[in-house]
Structure formats: structure tokens, C-alpha cells
Structure 1
Amino acid sequence: MSFWEMYEDLSSNGLKEMVANKMSKIGDYFASQCGNPHGVIGKIMTWSMNRANNVMYKGIVDELKISPKTQILDVGFGNGYLEKLIIQKSRCFITGIDISEDMVNKAAETNRRYIASGNMKFQLGDCCDLSFKDKTFDVVTTMNTIYFWNDTAKGMSEINRVLKDNGIFYNAVISKENLDKFFYTKNGFKKFTKDEYIELGKKAGFRRIRIKKLGNNYGLLIIYMK
């Protein structure tokens, strides 16, 4: 190999490494925004996810059996899009928790009429350490949050604790097979198979577990019954 061939080879490999490092950093940033949306980028991310994951929102709302007396806890509400869809189905009572203060403010702004009516409230909170009393809620919902919980087993146990007897937890996720296709999910995401979602529910004490495919297996709705 000549000097110039060696130089071009080294330059090419160096460029590839630089691009790979840059893509890795971009991926890490996107992953952090998915787990804790904040700032202008966080607002853009949640807006785009609302549209990309519409089939998952529909999957939750279609399954919900609620009345004006139903008490719902939504974990990781983002900009409050799911709350608006649920309240349009029934004027129930929804409490939302999120680890992002920016999203608390955004969701409150978007749903201020329902907050004023007493049907919604949004607050900072972590599902792995819930502040609510045992058997407070009829329903718990979450979408695309379980990948980011600090302690998945504790989060599942806490959700079971705050659910009333015969309560239901709706956990909407992107399937592991599809998550693996995205470059930004290589780091910062905990990915689970169907069997692992079932096992998490059993260990948390849920008595019945059902999995429904969403959008031609793009997503899954895991339904845990207490």
C-alpha cells in the first residue's frame, strides 16, 4: 500500500469514527428528551410524538371503560395530549404526574379549561415513588415511559399499590423489535419483550395480564388487572 493509499484509508476511518461519535451524542440527546422532555426541543419532541404515536393513544382510549366518577392517574403525560383525548370520552377525574417541570407547565396551559372545572390536575412526580394513598385510582395509564423508569419493578409495584381492587393499568409501548430500529434507542432505553412485560406484572401482584397489538405490531398495549 502506497503512502497516499494509507493516508486516504486513515482519513476515511477517522471520518467514520467522527461521524459515529457525533451520531451517538445526538442519539443520547434524543433519548434524554424522550425520557425527560424540556425546553424548546422537548416541546417539539412531544408534539411530534403525539402524531407519530397516534395509534397508541387510540389504543388506550378505545380500551378505557370510564364514567364521570372514574379516577385516573396518568404517568408521564408529556404535553397533556392523552388527557384531552380521555376527557372527551368522559368527564372523569384525571391526575397527571411527570418528572419534567416544563411538561407540567405545558400540559396545564393546554388543558386549563379542564383544570378550572376540577377534572384535571398536573404535578411533578415519579411513578417509582408515588405520593398517593393505597387504592386511590380506578385506572392508571402511561405511554412510552417504562423504558426510563429508574426502578422498573418498584414502579410497577407502586402502580399496583395505588390502584383500587379490580383497577386496571394500561401500559402502551413501542414493541422491542421496533425500538431496536431507531438509532437513538441504543442508550438510555430499557427494552422489554412481551414475556418480560408479563413477568413484571406478575411480580408486582397483578392477577390478570393481557397484551394487545397496536398498529400492525408497531406498538403493544399491556393491560394489567388488579
Structure 2
Amino acid sequence: MTPRARPLVALLAAAVLSQCAPAQAESVVKLPAAAVDPAVKAKRATAVLAGGCFWGVEGVFSNVKGVISVESGYHGGSRATAKYELTHDGTSGHAEAVRIVYDPTQVSYGTLLRVLFSVVADPTLKNRQGPDSGTQYRAAIVPMDATQRQVATAYLAQIGKGKYFAKPVIVPIESYKTFYPAEASHQNFMRLNPSNPYIVRWDAPKLAALKRLYPDLVRKVPAP
């Protein structure tokens, strides 16, 4: 059982604890810009990324300048198992993921990866992020074309060789299958539920870290 599925009493206790001592993002590392990050002239592109609970991943990327929209969903499994209640045992093949539509002339794919591994997901963890464990919470990069795959491969090598983390970088690059949007109750969850105990403890610190480390990347108004 993950913290998101625990009884309300436990969540309320977490909220009380979070007010006793300010929570911080679990893994915050100011990473370098991607050395391999070709310019893309198109005004619109799509990225699919996984970094643990999709509430926080969506919440952070919706605040990145150049992002047009972010949608929470499932990637890696079948249509039949693309449901929230069927992903919790880790056998569906799905990862909780987000689909980001962005303007490459304003924010590059390499920059999205920089944000992902600086403040959202720890790239040294296998099948877990923060308090959540299981294959459904794996961090993963899902390139949509050859250029994105090139950038992803190079950036993982770059941050791995740079010794920014105490452990090896082990994030997989997965082939795109089908992205299935999550239920409406999970869309814009962080923005619509800022006082939710899970958000307060685990996700709000990620957004705070984004604003602290990369203020020039932050939108004035979150993307839908």
C-alpha cells in the first residue's frame, strides 16, 4: 500500500508533521544544461516522461516556461490495465507518466530532462520514487522520435559521468507504446489540491525547488 492509499488518519498525521518542519524535495541537484540538444524549429512537440507519482510530475512541468499543456496518464501497458486501481500491484506494465506538449523554440527537450532529474525524479532509483515503490513508479524517458532519443541517451551519459549523484544513473529509455490519459480526478491534481497531505509533503517541495534553482524557466501562470 502506498502513502496515497493509506487511511485518512495517516495522511492527516503526515500533514501535521509537514507543518512541524518544512519538507524538502527528496532529490535536488542543479544539473548542467544538456550538451547534446539540437534546435528544433517546430512550434509544437510532445514528450512522455515518468518520474514517480504523476501528481508531482505534472505539477512541476505545468509551471515550466514553454510548456503548452501537461496530462497525467499511463504508459507501458495495455488499454485494459490503464486504470488507476489496476496499476497499484505493479503488474500492469504501466508507469505513471505525463504527456507534455511544449514549444521547442521556448524550451528544449534537453531542458525538460534537466528539470526532470534536477527536482522531480532521482535517476539512481529503480522502480521507486519518494515514498512510492513498484514498477508503476519508475522513472523513465520515452522518446517520441530519433532526436529525442539522441538527446536522452547523451544526457543520461552526461549526468552519469559528471558524478552529480552518489549512485549510478540507471533510468531506462523506453520505446513509445501508447499513452493513456488518467482519470479526470488525477488531472491538475497538485494545482487543485494544494493542501492534500501527500502534495504538501512530497510534491510541493519539488515545485519550490524548480523556482529556486531555475527561476528563469518558471511560467507566471501554470499551463493547463
TM over 0.5: no
Which structure has the greater CA radius of gyration? 1
Larger fraction in helix: 1
The TM-score normalised by the length of structure 2 is 0.32
The TM-score normalised by the length of structure 1 is 0.32
Larger fraction in strand: 1
